[in-house]
Chain A
Amino acid sequence: MIKKYFKTIGVIALNTFRETIRDRILYSLIGFAALVIAAGLLAGSVSLGQDLRVIESFGLTAMLIFLLIITLFVGTQVVWREVERKTIYLTLTKPVTRDQFYLGKYFGICLTTATSALIMGAMFLLEIYFKAHIFSVPALFSIIWMIFEVWLLTALGLMLSTFTAPLSSAIYTFCLALIGHASTSIWQIAQKSPAALKYILDVIYYLFPNLEKFNLRNEVVYAINPPFSQVWTTVVYFIGYTALLLVLGLMAFRSDEF
């Protein structure tokens, strides 16, 4: 019974993956990302011997930006498109529950973002190997953490897309991504703020996803691996927060009328 339940989710996920991966815009985004990552070589060549740190920081930041675009572009449209085109009825008339449909869509998008990240990551790691003849383990860690980050944002975008239009959902997700990356600054400002403002900033800091937990890009430049205690707390945080967003999304999706 459970096996069948998850098999259905798997089938929907695989179909969603096939559907999104065929999108030509995704190819152009990955192609453009490859160009930007490669452009790090040019920037590095005018950096007074700091090639590697420039290539690493430029490449990883470019990867994050393009993964965010892909997440916003794909994550906020997939469910909405099915509802808008009424193709969801075809699926739901079969022995498929709304939960299975929603989770299948989520894992399908995750598969797409992970594939994009792995393609870009492989190009990036090859570039570092070409430049410095090293295999950068911290860079690999950083890419894995980046995938976790976009998976969390996918859950967020998907949840928001259940009750808003795709554009609004994309804008909200983008804003929350910005807040998530400003979390360190928010915390620092909160420490120096008067009591009332501190309270508000503390709420923002603890409530919104702290995406700086997934940021290992600054450490890569100094070839620092994350400490083990941070690795597992980040994984637990990721699982907990993503599961929460999926549960909230499912609740909203169940009550949707279409």
Chain B
Amino acid sequence: MSARTVFFGNALHAEWVKLRSLRSTWYTLACLFGVGLGITILATGRAGEVYGSASAAERLAWDPTERSLTAYLVAQLVIGVLGTLVVTSEYATGLVRTSLAVTPRRHRLLAAKVVVATGVAVVAGQVLMFATFLLGQSLFAAQNVPHARLGDPGVLSAVVGGGLYLAAIALLAIGLGTIMRATAGALTTLVGIVFLVPALAGLFPSWFQGLLDFWPTQGAAAVFATVPNPDHPHPWLNLGGMCLGVGIVLAAAFVVFHRRDV
């Protein structure tokens, strides 16, 4: 009998090997950057025209930073796919049983998945947001419309906050994937949360409107702006509220992952 024992670090290492050894991980990341940068090019291409025909009030509200980061709308789905697959691909193949035979402490296994995926999502989110910002600003400059620099007031906060927003969505997707145990169900729910609920927001009762201040694509997306928004004077609070919500979903995921037979 060995006197050895396994630690959290071993589970982390295993999850990292799993993540990097799948082509789908790299394809998804490539897709994240392809989509993110592609949309930035498309969305900023007509900026000169738009700015030229804008009214004085619109010019005052012109926020080159937020405009260059709008790719987050679609990028959040792609990074959500990455988060979901970390869990649901194991359910789809039955590999989750093998993983639990290796790491029978369930919280440890899920925590390792969360940490590794978060690490990747934080890096990918930051790199993507900086890249889209720089690309967008250079396109604005080329069209002679006002553009921003990283040193301008509020810009760094918006770019970094945007990267964290994306990482939080990846975490939300891990939580949904763990609860649903199926890729399709988790992704549909994610689309419902980030697109459908905001689209139908006007139909919901008033108590729900308060939640929307912290909702993805809604209040939580205020962090992308550098021009003060009177509805959301403290965008980081809105983002923090969304992170709290993600934390609740993740906590539920840990509870069901611990209790359910696999």
A and B associate: no
